[in-house]
Amino acid sequence: MGASPMNKTITIDGKTVPFVDGQTIMDAAMAFGIYIPHLCHNPEFEPHGSCKLCVVSVNGRNMTSCTMPAVEDMVVANDTPELNDDRKALVQMLFVEGNHICPACEASGNCQLQAAAYYLNMLSPHFTHFYPQRKVDASHPDIFLDLNRCILCELCVRASREVDGKNVFGISGRGIDTHLVVNSASGRLGDTNFAATDKAAHVCPTGAILIKRQGYKIPIGQRTFDRKKISEVQMELIEQIKPEPDDG
């Protein structure tokens, strides 16, 4: 398939951004070099639209940019104080809804939730902590599943289903009781065919899915977000997975 000519454009924060049919606002923005904060989105998987961090204002209406197709002449506002305040509040809510103890978490420095909080200038959780009772599943010989840190982005669900072809994870419950479940008769990760080499074991944006015995092996200063902001890391991911240009 040859690349469609990018003769259509949208406007993001006053900049004219080209796109091809089928691209979302997020796709077009990131390809152009405009960063839109996000947590549940990963360009390697189908868009999900659940974390709401990527909400932008499209012709005056708020929409998730990772799921909204770009349409000719859309006027998009992204990097505005109002939207960034909303994004910060969303991250703050994620922090208090789970149990995110950064000081002792081995994902610290590699955690997208933490990095997003820094990026959005979150200085405190602001809201009252829920301190929910969540399960820890250490039954797998190589993987530690800590639901205290799950933000329900479903990246592991999607990766296991779409890439690994295993369907290890799923989401159950409704509303505030929504939670990640493991698809085995016992509900234990150790009773699935999940493997540390699976894609799903490496897509968690927080420390909910950890490979055992690897904690803290990357020293402070060399962790992902010690060196780069989340915006740079996520923009680089777009570059890495960009398909090779078609010769035709």
Partner 1 sequence: MPFELETAANPDNLQRVVIEPVTRVEGHGKVTLLLDADNRVHQARFHIVEFRGFEKFIQGRPFTEVPVLVQRLCGICPVSHNLAASKAMDMIVGGTPPPAAEKLRRLMHMGQILQSHALHFFHLSSPDLLFGFAADAGKRNIAGLVADFPDIARQGIALRRYGQEVIRLTSGKRVHGTGVIPGGMSRNLSQDDRDYLLKEIDQVLRWSLDAVKLIKTIYSEHADLYNGFGSYRSSFMSLVREDGAMDLYHGGLRARDEHGQTIFDHVDYSRYWDYIHEEVKSWSYMKFPFIRSHGREEGWYRVGPLARINNCDFIPTPLADAERKTFKEFGGGSATHATLAYHWARMIEMLHAAEAIEELLYDDDLLSDDLLNTGERQLRGVGVIEAPRGTLIHHYRINEDEQIVRANLIVATTHNNQAMNEAIRQVALQYLDGQQLTEGLLNYIEVAIRAFDPCLSCATHAVGKMPLEVELIDAEGVMTQRLIKDSDGRYRT
Contacting positions for partner 1 (CB under 8 A): 103-106, 136, 138-139, 144, 190, 210, 212-221
Pairing of strands 61-64, 75-77: unpaired
CB 143 → partner 1: shortest distance, Å?
11
CB 189 → partner 1: shortest distance, Å?
10
Residue 178: phi and psi, rounded to 5, are -60, 135
CB 144 → partner 1: shortest distance, Å?
5
Q: Report the alpha-carbon distance of residue 198 to residue 71 in Å, rounded.
A: 36
C-beta of 171 vs 218, nearer to partner 1 = 218
C-beta separation of 53 from 38 below 8 A: yes
Question: What's the token pair of residue 210?
Answer: 């950890």
**Quick check: helix, strand or coil at residue 182?**
strand
C-beta of 178 vs 214, nearer to partner 1 = 214
CB 215 → partner 1: shortest distance, Å?
4
**Quick check: helix, strand or coil at residue 216?**
coil
C-beta of 68 vs 105, nearer to partner 1 = 105
CB 118 → partner 1: shortest distance, Å?
16
43: left (phi over 0), alpha (psi -120 to 50) or beta: alpha
The residues facing 143 across adjacent strands are: 211
C-beta of 125 vs 190, nearer to partner 1 = 190
CB 190 → partner 1: shortest distance, Å?
8
Altogether, the residues listed in the chain come to a count of 248
- The CA angle 28-30-36, to the nearest 5 degrees, is 110
Taking the alpha carbons at both ends of the chain, their separation in whole angstroms is 9
C-beta of 61 vs 213, nearer to partner 1 = 213
C-beta of 69 vs 215, nearer to partner 1 = 215
Q: Report the alpha-carbon distance of residue 45 to residue 155 in Å, rounded.
A: 8
